[in-house]
Amino acid sequence: MDLRLTPDELAFRDELREWLSKNVPGDWPQRKYDPLETRFDYLREWQRQLFDAGWAGIAWPREYGGRGASTMLQVIFWEEMARAGAPPLANVLGLGIIGPTIIAFGTDDQRQRFLRKILSAEEIWCQGFSEPEAGSDLAALRSEAKLDGSDWVVNGHKVWNSYGWAADWCELVVRTDSAAPKHKGLTVLLVDMKGPGVEVRPLKQITGETEFCELFFRDVRVPVVNTVGKVNDGWNVALGTLMHERGTFGAGLQVTYRQNLERLIALAHSTERNGKPAAQDPVIRQKLAQTFAEVEIMRLNQMRAFSRINQTGVPGPEGSIQKIFWSELNQRMQQLAQELLGPYGQLEGPDGFAVDQGAWSYGYLRARGNTIEAGTSEIQRNIIGHFVLGLPRSY
Ligand SMILES: Cc1cc2nc3c(=O)[nH]c(=O)nc-3n(C[C@H](O)[C@H](O)[C@H](O)COP(=O)(O)OP(=O)(O)OC[C@H]3O[C@@H](n4cnc5c(N)ncnc54)[C@H](O)[C@@H]3O)c2cc1C
């Protein structure tokens, strides 16, 4: 792909750069350590501000509130956000994976109904895929939906649903034909999380936060018009969502990683090793240089993924390479921070001893989940082996 920017792309970049220079909230460096719920409200407001100014959903169709621009402009958007030190956006799953699924597989009515409110963060989304007995083997899921007039009646139990506590809507995968082979009898529904019969139970993570939840559905009525794609073809729709989660989701993460790298470099200057700033230690310098190169590789891989979507309209299985890369890179960065900090790295909270208000302790613990969420590293390697390299199935 040609990495040089065209005059139109340069004009877009300059306009965005100027807008960000005036609008990125100055208190974000302090507010990013707020408790989850408060931080979430802050990010929701920030997303709303971007939407109002026309910067949300750069590559989404204009008629649904997007900018109708190329995926290259979407990449430039994330790069400029990183450059400006801007906060990430609140509706992570809606923007990154569920909106794109509705664009690709939904009806016009569904696009009209849902997309604009995803962009404005007026409605927050969660993803209801995993179950206690169906994680890596998602097609083994048992939550079911039965037709009753013009509604589906849903019963089941989902788990590990990020932002379930904040969600207004859920992309839910259910079994609609129990007699069919397990990949064939699934359907994807858009479920109102505030409707009767939906129960959300927050789950505490190793970080102490309750970012994800368990969801219980008891005789929940979902209008048939909220079916995405064809009935019993939910496996293909769910795969579409997962390919976005693995292939293009990292575009937003790039912002956080670039900022974390800068914090890491600052940390190496402010901590000591053998009586000198750690930044002068040759081993630490090598590790920082390696991290710099890897963050850049992540950015370029992201461009490649977007470039493929530009050509084909959908992300491919090679998105699993991205998923492994960003998840393991974050763990390496967090590990390096712990090496620099020594025992201080374990301190939490905004007291005088916790470095960066405990953000490194939090980051290290949160990174453990990176190689599990969106499919574990083992599963990504199986996908790469089979679908990208053409090797025989491992199971
Ligand atoms: C932070 C976080 C956020 C999440 N958010 C969501 C969400 O929003 N929505 C949602 O639906 N889910 C979410 N998940 C769930 C996630 O998708 C699952 O945890 C993941 O798919 C693994 O499933 P499992 O936990 O059931 O583990 P299992 O599938 O039971 O796997 C256990 C171990 O066995 C290995 N394994 C399993 N099968 C194979 C195989 N065939 N070959 C080799 N190794 C194998 C796995 O790699 C893993 O190490 C989240 C998880 C985390 C940690």
Average pLDDT, the chain: 92
For ligand 1, atom 16, the nearest C-alpha belongs to 373
pTM across the whole model: 0.94
**How many Cα atoms occupy the beta-carbon half-sphere of 89 within 13 Å?**
29
| Catalytic (active site) residue 245 | yes
Percent of the chain clearing pLDDT 70 (strictly above):
97
**pLDDT digits 0-9 by tens, 323-372:** 999 999 999 999 999 999 999 888 877 666 667 778 899 999 999 999 99
Pocket test for ligand 1, best of 130, 210, 391 (most atoms within 8 A of CB): 130
Whole-number Å distance between alpha carbons of 319 and 293: 20
Is 84:24 a contact under the CB 8 Å cutoff? yes
Best CA proximity match to 377, nearest among 324, 317, 322: 324
Pocket of ligand 1 contains residue 135 by CB under 6 Å: yes
Is 251:59 a contact under the CB 8 Å cutoff? no
Pocket test for ligand 1, best of 101, 136, 161 (most atoms within 8 A of CB): 136
Per-residue model confidence (pLDDT) at position 353: 67
Pocket of ligand 1 contains residue 375 by CB under 6 Å: yes
User: 89 pLDDT exceeds 80?
Assistant: yes
Catalytic member of 144, 245, 294, 318: 245
Q: How confident is the model at residue 395 (pLDDT cuts 50, 70, 90)?
A: low
**pLDDT digits 0-9 by tens, 52-64:** 999 999 989 999 9
The owner of tokens 């579409």 is 240
Per-residue model confidence (pLDDT) at position 1: 63
